[in-house]
Structures are given as C-alpha cells and as structure tokens.
Structure 1
C-alpha cells in the first residue's frame, strides 16, 4: 500500500474510512443558489481552454521532477520569471513526500509559453531559522523591491509560519530579518498578496480551531510586519478532513467583481471559482466556474488572461487561456470515449473530435466518421429497450441535442432536447423499459429528470426538477428489482446524497443526504455480484478510492471501505462481466498507470493489479459486447485510442492495441470547458 506523505497526515486529520457515516445534509438549493444562465449585470463565468505543457524541469528522463505551487512575474529584464516548489517525481501509482520539498525553483522565459530556461534555486530550507519546508512562493513588486511570501512550516509541534524574502533583481533573495510574519496552527500555507483599497491583503489557507477549512485574510500597511489577525473570507463546506481540502487561493478583480480561485476540486486536478462584490466574503452561492488545473495561478499579459497549472503528477508547468464567459462552463462526461453495443451488435464508440466541436463515431473495425457538428462536450449514451442507442451532447450554448439509432443501424437527425444544462445527462432503463434521464442544471442549481412516455418511444415527458442542487453531474443505476437509484455529490463536495424509487417504476423517496460524507468528485455506481449495487467515490483531493456495497440485493447498504490511496478526478469505471461480477478500472493522478480490481465470488474485491501503463488522460471507458467479453478503452495525450479486451467471457485479458484513425480530443476526466 502506498505511504501517505506527511502533508496529508498533519494533526491526525485523516480518519480511516473517512466516508463512513454521514452528514445529514440534503442536496439543497440554498447551498448553491447562483442564478443559472447569462449574467447581464452580475459576475462573469470562468473556464479555460486546453492546457499546453510549456516547461519540464527534469534534467533528463531518468530523473523526472515536478513543480507544484508556483507563481510567475515579469521582471525588470522584461522576461517572465517562474518560482515554484520542486521535487522528484514518485514512481507510477505512488505519491511524492512533500516533507522534503526544501527548495524554491527558478526559471525564466521571454514568453509565458516558453521556452523556459532553468536557473539555480533561489531559496533552500534554513532549519536554523525554523523552516521545515519551502512551499507556495508568491512574488509581487512594490517600489522597486520584489517580495516573496512563502510557507515555511515549523519544527514538530510548533505553529506553521508564513515567511518573507526580498530581492531587487528576482535572482538574489534575502530573508526578512523579522521572520516569521506570523505563525498559526498546523496548516497556515499557500499565501497570495494583493493591494486592496489602502492596504495589502494576504490570502492563505488555514484549518481553524473548529477544524473548518478556510481561506483567511490578514492585512498590512508595509508588507514586512504588522500583519493583522486573521479573518475567514471563505469557509469550505467540508470539515474535519485532510488539511488539503482548501488550497492555493488566488484573487483577481474585474469590473467591480472579485473572483477567488480555490483548489483542489474534482479530485487533485481541479480549481473552483467564486465571485463576490466583497473581497472579504465568498460563499458557495457565488460559484462562478471550474478550471481543470491544480494550484491554478492567474496571469494577465496585456489584454490576455492566462491560467498556469502544475502539480505532483504534471511533469512541470502547463498554460491555458482563461475564458471569461457569459454562461457557465460545461462539464465533460468522465467516460471518454463513450462506448456501448449498438442495435447491430457492434461495439460503438462516440467522442469529441480533435477540433473540440465535431462529434465522431466508429466501431472497432471502422475508422472515425463524422457524427455531428457544433458541439462542445463528450457525448453520453442511453440504450433503448430494443437495443437502439440514443446519443446526447451539449452545444456551446448549453442546449441539449439527441440522435437515435434506427432499427437497421442508421441514425435519425439531431433534434433539440431541452436545456440549458451543465452536462449531458446520464441514462438508465426503468423497470417498465423506459429510458430515464438525469441532468445537472446550469450552474449546478438543480438536477433535472425526463423519461420516455413508453418503451422505445420518441415521445418524452417534460423536464422536471428532481433535486435542488448538486456539486457534479449525478449518476444512476438500477437495483436488481428494477428500481432506479440516483446518487449525487452535494454542493461543495460536503456529502454524497441518494434518492431511489419506492417501487419498480414507481414514485421516489426523498433525498437522503447521509449516504456518504465529504467526497471529491461525482461517484460511480453499478449492479454487481449477488445482484447488489456497488458505489465508488473518491475522497477530497483524490486521497483515496472508497467503495460502498448493498448488504443484500435491493436492500440496505454496508459500510464504506477504502479500496486504494490516490485516484484521479473520476471514480472507478465499473462494468459487469457476463457472470455479473464487476470489473473496476481506475488510475492515480498523472495517468502513468491503470489499475484493475474485480469482484470475487462472495462480492468482495480482489487486490488491485496493474492493468496498463500510460500516459493516459482519463479514467478508462468500458463496455461488454454481445459475446460477454469486456472491452476497455483509454485515450493517450496525443488523442489516440487504445483498447484491451477479455480473451473470452469472464476470462483473462489480451494485449493492448491502438485503434487506427485520426486522434480525438484528449479530454481529462470530468473536466470543464
């Protein structure tokens, strides 16, 4: 089992099986009540374009290094300067030890997209001055002097310190002789400083005495001393968990609105944005978008806005355009490409093409062919009772469209299907054989439901409100008796809630918000061995993959258990073998390795085993064909699709092979645009 680094063990705040038990918090409108749709007078929505890898700090491929919390600033030489945590990359599936992050790295470039030139480190841990590590440098310029604020940790048992170093040229740095600026508790870190009104304001993260994860603010007139007491400007919905729930705060102002960027969200690689008129008061109600990036930093270069990203598993610095939007960013399905068996019996794939506006489809034997234009998300699939597929995808304006197979394997025209939504819907057949859809409303303010009037029909009910708010698209699965069960991440990731049909095809029970406590991304669910539902979910920041099974078919639920440490943005993909046992596929952040676990005859799970090596961009997709064999699909960073198939139903696995054809968009699992 992977050793958890000290950064996650501080103050004993990780409890084994952290999802055991529940918080009685229902999916609630008041927790995420941002108005949906276009904002005429309010704040803008934020998203990001595709990230480009612009700097690898590794001296050679045998000595891979990572950057983490970082900053960029243009210096007096007209060049961009990068300052960052730096460390040695851990082997695939393992996590670096952040306790040995004891240097601040430095690199320079003429342009943000490089090429970057590595320079000597500018600071090294000074244990004689109480520095335990060097984290999260943030540099500003004032009156010709550059100020670097950083987290310095503390000797064991001491409160953590925020320290300062200064420079005139961004190369030679001198520590402030009155360090530390302040100490607090066991989690004061990730400082960011900005001028507001007539004073300097430092934003940083803390865990307060009530074990709330907060972004705190302190003020000063001179940057060097006299920092005020802290006040909370953001309190996370998640409490009593790892110190890494709230990270890397970054603040920008535009048109009278303040935007606070906070990680980690949707697993390790993700940042949420919250807007407010008051730079000292941010809440979930101000949700303003999502950036698929760890430790996101915002950079303005003239009229251009950019976002930089790094992290333990990212191999250096990444850069993307920051998008200021009139509508919320759209969530991609975590299953890319989408896969299912169509009415002809062929395994068929659907994906967003490399241009990110065209949908394409293929079978295993054919190449990719155009399926539709003017789309913005990875599609989702619903299987009709008669075997025909229905494909759902969002257009850039967040409207939903559907295209359905005909009996001979052809396809209908695209038709409008409602909206606006944040994500394409999930689908399941109810006990009556009708497709039911569940979709995340715009800005996450609701979950919407729609169903076929009769099995295989082109007539559907109207969309109706099914839940008052969620933190990610919901999932749906059918019990052994056909009753549907919907499981959703609560606003802010504070809990997992579920709702189920009281009888097959019947009415619905109220939401139960105590299904699971804090989680980091949308769960997955599937019916497995013993006709029992199984749910997988990741802890905040992706610290672990956890599983909860039904105790009996159609019955109550057992306890949560930890499957493995460290998982990527999406929970495990689960697919049933022909004998009903589930196969699960998952990967740690970075995509260097894919893991596999399967249900045993008693419905327990095997130990994880390595199933393939990357790099891959997302949690694998899987489906079972008409012969009972399971097919697994992954996407490499170059957009090529790779597959591995069981040699026979319920049997072992063949070799990986690359599918011929043009590349598709290598969309990260569950990312937003």
Structure 2
C-alpha cells in the first residue's frame, strides 16, 4: 500500500450517507443468494527479512517446485512510522521449498533505473508464466505513474522490455494479471479521472505487451480528496463458479476485503463476501489448499494464512482478548477466547489484588464474549456460537456465590459479538450485527429474565455498532456504513424512549472498524475512529452534554490498527490507547485535565515481552479505579500493566497473567 498523502485534518470527514434498515426480507434474501464466503485461519509469520520490510508482493512456483517471492522492500522506519515510498527502489527476491518456508533471501530481482523512461521507484511486482517466459509487471511511478514490464526465463535474471512503459495513469499501481477466456486481464489500483473515486481499473491484452484502454471493475465511495486509496492490491480468482475480488487496505491497514460477482469485470460494494486479516493479500492454490499471503510496511516480513471457503459469513471478532468487568464482589472477571473456540474465564482472587486464579473452561464460542452487568447485579455473557449461526447467552445466577447457569440460545445468526447499552432503569439493550453485516438488530430486556423480540434497527453496516450513553441517560448508537463509506448515529429521543432516524452525515469516510466511545467528566460523548486505511485517529466531541457536536478533529497522527481503547480515570480524564499496525508501537494519550485538551502521546510498551503487541489492548479498571491494560504477545501470552495509583501517569511493569495461550484477534476485521 502506497498512500499518495496522509490525512492531517478532519475536514474530509463530511461525506453524507444513510443507514436505513433494509426492506422486510432483504437480509434473508441476501443470505439465501450467497454461494460462498471467504475467511481465514490464524496468520503466521513465515519469512522475516530482518531490518527490511516487505510490502506488496507476488509468489510463484517454479517447475522444480521452488517458490519464488518478489516484493517491495526498503529499510524499516522507526516504530509506528510509515516509511518513505520514494526509497523503495529495489524488488526483493527470496526462495523456499514451500510456502511456509524456510525462505532464503536472494539478490534483488531489479533495481530502479532512472534512465529507463524515468523510473522513480519499484512497487508491487506481479509475476506470471506464459510459454516458457516469466513476466514481471510493476509500478514505476515517474511522469504519469508508469506500469512497466520485465521478463525472465529463470526467475533470477530480469530484463526490461525495450519499448518502455506499457501505459501510464494518474496513480496506476499494484498490477495483477490473469487469463480470462481468450485474453489477459490486468487489474490495478487507480483514481477515476472523471469523478476522482478510488477504483480498481482493468485493461485487456492478447500478448501481455499491448494493452487496451482503461475500464472500471470496482468503484469505492471514497475519493482522492477525502481518503487514501482502499482499492489497492487487487487480486481476482474464480472458485465454484463465482469470481472473487480481494482489495485493501480495508478494516485498517492490515486487512483485505473480498467481493463476489458472477462477472469478473464488475464488482460492487454490496457484493461483500468476506475478509482476510493481511495487507496486500495474494491468493494461492497449492495442492488443493488455498492460501493467502500478506506483507506490509509496518510488519516484519511475509505472513501466511489458510484461506477458508465457507457457507456462512466470517465473524468480526472483538478487537481485544479478553473482555472484562468488575463483579458484585468487586473482583475483576476476565473472559477470553482460547484455542479451538474455547471460552476461558479467570477471576481475581481478591479485590484490587491483581492476582488471578487459573483459566477455567467456560464454554465454546466464535469470538471473545461481550460481558455486562444487568440491573440485578448479575454478569451476563453474550457471544456468537462457533460458526455464527446463533447468539448465545450465559447468566450469573447468584452474584454472591458466583454461580452460573448454562449457555442458552439468545438470538439467531449474528456477525459479531454484540454491543450492549443500559436504560436508566437498568434494563439492557443488546445490539447485534447481522451475518456479513447485512443489518443491525436490537433486543431489549423487559424484566429480570424476559426480553422483547428481536427488531431490525438499521443496516447494512461495515463493522459492529457501538453504544454510548448521554449525560441525560439516552442511548446513542454509532456505526460505519459498508466499506467505511460513512459514519452514522442514531439516538433515543427520551431516556428509555423511542429512537430517532439514522443520521448518516455524522462523518466519513473512515476505516471500516467499530468506533470507540467514551464520556467526558461532564458527560459529553467522545467518538474515536481511524481515518481510512488507518492514517491516524479522528475524534468528535459533543459541544454540550447530551447536545450537538463539534467538528471532527485529529486526536493522533500515529497509524492505528483499530479504534483506540478508551477509559475514564477516577479524576474524570479520558485515556486512550492505540497500537500501530504490526504491533511495534503502543501509545497512551490522555486528557491533561477533565474535559480538557490532550497531552502528547506516550509510549507504554516499554518492557513488553517479545517486543510486539498482537492487537490493540483491552483496558479495564480495578474496583479502586486503577486502570489495567491487558495485551497479548504474538504467541497468545496475556500480559497486564496497571496504574500505580488511580489516575496516575505512572504504571507498573508488564507482568504475565495466566499460563494459557489465548486466541489472537484479527484486530477488527471479519475472519
């Protein structure tokens, strides 16, 4: 991914959209017509090139069975910073006996040649084989965004064709070439010169050298004026009679969305068919098994995940593992997702002690559960089942003894763990994203153990909703539209009462991730969400408690992997915590005073074992108000760090919590 600019102001967050509920039966029809969805197994690092990073890349298998990797490369930038794309002047080359490695670094395949028609950089190579010749297509920039071609007979020695660029574009890059019927088709990332939308463009050829004029295969609602491109790294494959387009970065920097179509030359935003939690995904079939590779500028090399073709939509996970709350006995309780969809629970041995009992099995679920306290003081745990075909609920039957009932089915198929809100009288409202984001549905508690029927609340949506509570007790729900095209909100007109219509003009475009919400000391809501593709974090604050809103502004220019974790200190100051893609930079940014301005961000990952944090951490609080960060290492080891005192700016060192490896979330995208 090569952004043409980085958003530094929030004026761009003004796109008007709508999040109206689909007509009756529309969601069911969407599911009935679905053929296959795309998800992925956990992602593993299989090649670390050391101090250099990889980005957009290609892999190809030679006749002797050797795999060859080619990709963007340059020296890694300081932690949390995006590298200078102008320094990407070599194409990396590595070989391996299998996709999983071991990979061996080889000499560069190409080095930039300014005398070759003004080459400025070497980006996003794609290699194919045809009649004994290998063709490497790559973006070379320069005057008019050149698309260049080099050839080889052995995958080791490459020669640029003498005729120069195949064509030039506005921002043409990230070529992908595939044979469809009697012609070759090149898909690439581009800006539509007519309306400035980010698009996947394509051209056709019969000889791989001479290419047709440009046509458009996919148009995103975002534009060059308000967002970096999220139509990069296009990859198109056919599976069981349908065509699938993979593009990104979507759902943050490390994320690729999938779209399904019967026509390989036409895809729509409504054709959403899944998500793969890698950057610049390449799709490979090897021996009947499908794989996705990924690599990005913030990351540590080449990543590999097994691709899943499945009958049900992939689930959006919680962005943090575990979830947590304080129980009626003032102890922290943690609910985590372990291996094999196992739900685990750990309970603090005494209030504020920081000591926990061993993880105990608590059930089976598809994601990290949501946990909330109901008006009877009982903990309630909600989560999708393993494949998302039902929403499950488990309730604490006696807070005094910490006894629990069995899991029961609470709702139909869902796409994510639900969000919860609490009415002024203590009744719970549960907001659940439908499968594949087709709708948002709500169910409200009517008595201690009685509930309303499910009702459609809105949608479709591009990520799970979140719930805030106004100072006057009115609930307010925030969600992003499909693809992050807009941010919408809907609020109760009176505390515990009916609801407004959706306002799709709240903001956008934005990253297609769940926003985060906090309350200032005076009760004003603050909403946080990453910019498109994660170039920073935007913030919008209520002008008065329960009232209107100030304009969007930038909270942080650090690239985040998801919306920040938000919590309020005992003195009323909000604290936010955000992690860069790749996990090398975890920062804290807090209000300098209650309801006030924000202090400079401060790194808080010093001493973190293994160096990298797997995903944006969870933030919770002890009964005495001290904040607790819960973060995972890349191998699933849970670590905790606690404020030295309530509202303190100093923190204890990182310490392990439990000896059981937990599941690594995909940091916000469905998988």
TM-score, normalised to structure 2's length? Answer: 0.94
Match of 2:140 in 1: 152
Is the aligned partner of 1:8 residue 2:3?
A: yes
Given that 1:37 and 1:420 are in contact with CA atoms closer than 8 Å, whether structure 2 keeps it comes out as no
Is the aligned partner of 1:489 residue 2:480?
A: yes
Given that 2:58 and 2:126 are in contact with CA atoms closer than 8 Å, whether structure 1 keeps it comes out as yes
Given that 2:637 and 2:656 are in contact with CA atoms closer than 8 Å, whether structure 1 keeps it comes out as yes
Can you give the 5+ residue segments of structure 1 that lack an aligned partner in the other structure? 59-63
Can you give the 5+ residue segments of structure 2 that lack an aligned partner in the other structure? 349-353
Given that 1:238 and 1:492 are in contact with CA atoms closer than 8 Å, whether structure 2 keeps it comes out as no
Match of 1:192 in 2: 176
Match of 2:87 in 1: 100
- Give the superposition deviation at 1:672: 2.5
Moved more, 344-353 or 643-652: 643-652
Q: Judging changes above 3 Å, is the alpha-carbon distance between structure 1 residues 21 and 105 closer, same or farther for their aligned structure 2 residues?
A: closer
Match of 1:649 in 2: 646
- Give the superposition deviation at 1:602: 4.0
Match of 1:570 in 2: 562
Match of 1:550 in 2: 542
2:600 equivalent among 597, 600, 607: 607
Give the secondary structure class of the aligned counterpart of 1:541.
Answer: helix
How many angstroms apart in 2 are the aligned matches of 1:42 and 1:553? 44
Is the aligned partner of 1:435 residue 2:435?
A: no
Q: Judging changes above 3 Å, is the alpha-carbon distance between structure 1 residues 42 and 572 closer, same or farther for their aligned structure 2 residues?
A: closer
Moved more, 469-478 or 657-666: 657-666
Match of 1:628 in 2: 625
- Encode CA deviations 1:156-210: one digit per residue, 9 max, x unaligned: xx2101100000000011101112000011x100000001111000000101122
- Give the superposition deviation at 1:656: 2.0
How many angstroms apart in 2 are the aligned matches of 1:357 and 1:284? 34
Within 5 Å, which residues of 2 pair with 1:28-427?
28=20, 42-58=34-50, 64-129=51-116, 130-154=118-142, 158-185=143-170, 187-209=171-193, 210-225=195-210, 227-239=211-223, 240-363=225-348, 364-398=354-388, 399-405=390-396, 406-408=398-400, 409-427=402-420
Given that 2:573 and 2:595 are in contact with CA atoms closer than 8 Å, whether structure 1 keeps it comes out as no
Runs of 4+ in 1 over 4 A off after TM superposition: 28-31, 33-42
Is the aligned partner of 1:450 residue 2:447?
A: no
Given that 1:76 and 1:169 are in contact with CA atoms closer than 8 Å, whether structure 2 keeps it comes out as no
How many angstroms apart in 2 are the aligned matches of 1:310 and 1:78? 22
How many angstroms apart in 2 are the aligned matches of 1:663 and 1:37? 40
TM-score, normalised to structure 1's length? Answer: 0.94
Give the aligned length: 652
Q: Judging changes above 3 Å, is the alpha-carbon distance between structure 1 residues 557 and 46 closer, same or farther for their aligned structure 2 residues?
A: same
Q: Judging changes above 3 Å, is the alpha-carbon distance between structure 1 residues 491 and 450 closer, same or farther for their aligned structure 2 residues?
A: same
How many angstroms apart in 1 are the aligned matches of 2:653 and 2:501? 46
How many angstroms apart in 1 are the aligned matches of 2:472 and 2:562? 28
Match of 2:666 in 1: 668
Given that 2:18 and 2:488 are in contact with CA atoms closer than 8 Å, whether structure 1 keeps it comes out as yes
Give the secondary structure class of the aligned counterpart of 1:279.
Answer: coil
Given that 2:559 and 2:581 are in contact with CA atoms closer than 8 Å, whether structure 1 keeps it comes out as yes
How many angstroms apart in 2 are the aligned matches of 1:377 and 1:264? 23
- Give the superposition deviation at 1:29: 5.8
Match of 1:61 in 2: none
Q: What is the alpha-carbon root mean square deviation over aligned residues? A: 1.9
1:517 equivalent among 508, 525, 528: 508
Moved more, 22-31 or 615-624: 22-31
- Give the superposition deviation at 1:38: 9.5
How many angstroms apart in 2 are the aligned matches of 1:561 and 1:42? 39
Match of 1:588 in 2: 580
How many angstroms apart in 1 are the aligned matches of 2:4 and 2:218? 23
1:560 equivalent among 552, 567, 574: 552
Give the secondary structure class of the aligned counterpart of 2:115.
Answer: helix
Match of 2:493 in 1: 502
